[in-house]
Structure 1
């Protein structure tokens, strides 16, 4: 089929090839629905000639804007959601347009890590303790680092889908800032406590996810 006109099934095959063989058609309803939306957006962007790198850059700009909006957490949450959509759409655009490259994958991963760091900076600005924020970021970085190193060691499938994958971190950032914004309407000092609890949830999920990864990879590589 022509560029920008892959069917959903063709797209799913291409997407799985870039994500450790994980077939999006077999994902849960929420993940499958999200990826279907990304496929539609990516197809539209590819059709009008927008390159994947442009979508990645746009997503990064949205992420960097999040801490700038820390005094308006609900609006910051909207920017997290838009950035997440851009993050999914850049990969979809690459697959649909046949422009997926290893360099693009590298830049996309780098943009993801910088974006998550920006969200956590926003958490800190809203009132989360700095140490807790650093631990959350460090554990999430370790999650991705371990997965990358195991791939380099020769494991080519995804291994395990943990409770702390990228979609989880997006959800925690979005819901956390949204709750902080709602808390602000009740009492001025509530957002700090709210975002602290959310950051603690991020840390807990990231820790469990890291243990899941290590256990799965230990079994696979023995």
Structure 2
């Protein structure tokens, strides 16, 4: 499948949002997923297998921090990167192999939330206050819940690309863990950044929902 065909199919599955017109971060994310997804598809790897692998990798993030202490922070950052790549690949494989299903879509969404929970648990194990970690997680999950409910009510699936989409949360997790590897107290700052971005993103999304659903 050529890139333009893939981008068109991806757009159809994401409420008409064209990745070719996205900012460089989102566009680059989708391009990488397309390239690696094509390689996996040629080897007949299924999308749900990729989703499961990504979730298991995510669960290794807090395990690394708990088992290896400071060195584990560096390893955890690497594992988050690997997990994030796997996360983008399941959808790519589904599109390229024409195996996108509603069940797979739900499973992928649940796996994403569980994976982010694992990253935030790693933040807590690294020293971030529990209340801050829980609040940050709740704020980002509320954004996804509101988007899902608004989509069910008639809004296009994405509505708006906020400042705290999945690629941004991945970067906060990676650089937060790396920063904590350099100096432990920085993990609290990373959790605070996660929360701040989630609050701004929530506001952006609520405004988009209001525009989309107000008669």
Unaligned runs of 5+ in 1: 1-5, 184-190
2 CA distance for matches of 1:58 and 1:143?
25
* Aligned residue in 2 for 1:111: 111
Say if 2:208 is the partner of 1:216: yes
2:61 to 52, 57, 66: 66
* Aligned residue in 1 for 2:127: 127
1 CA distance for matches of 2:114 and 2:24?
28
Residue deviations 1:129-177, cap 9 Å, x none? 0000000110011000000000111112522111111111111001100
2 CA distance for matches of 1:150 and 1:194?
35
For the residue of structure 2 that corresponds to 1:69, the secondary structure is helix
Unaligned runs of 5+ in 2: none
Residue deviations 1:30-73, cap 9 Å, x none? 32222111101101111101100110011001100000111211
1 CA distance for matches of 2:25 and 2:149?
29
* Aligned residue in 2 for 1:205: 197
Residue deviations 1:3-24, cap 9 Å, x none? xxx1000000111111111111
1 CA distance for matches of 2:29 and 2:102?
24
* Aligned residue in 2 for 1:186: none
Residue deviations 1:91-129, cap 9 Å, x none? 100000110111000000000000000000000000000
Counterparts of 1:72-221 in structure 2, within 5 Å, are 72-183=72-183, 191=184, 193-221=185-213
Report the TM-score when normalising by structure 2. 0.95
Contact 2:78 2:174 in 1 (8 A): yes
Contact 1:66 1:76 in 2 (8 A): yes
Moved more, 27-36 or 114-123: 27-36
Displaced runs of 4 or more, over 3 A: none
Q: What's the offset of the Cα at 1:85?
A: 0.2
1:47 to 12, 20, 42: 42
Contact 1:74 1:182 in 2 (8 A): no
Q: What's the offset of the Cα at 1:29?
A: 2.3
Number of paired residues?
209
Report the TM-score when normalising by structure 1. 0.92
2 CA distance for matches of 1:63 and 1:177?
14
RMSD, aligned α-carbons: 0.9
Contact 1:42 1:90 in 2 (8 A): yes
* Aligned residue in 1 for 2:27: 32
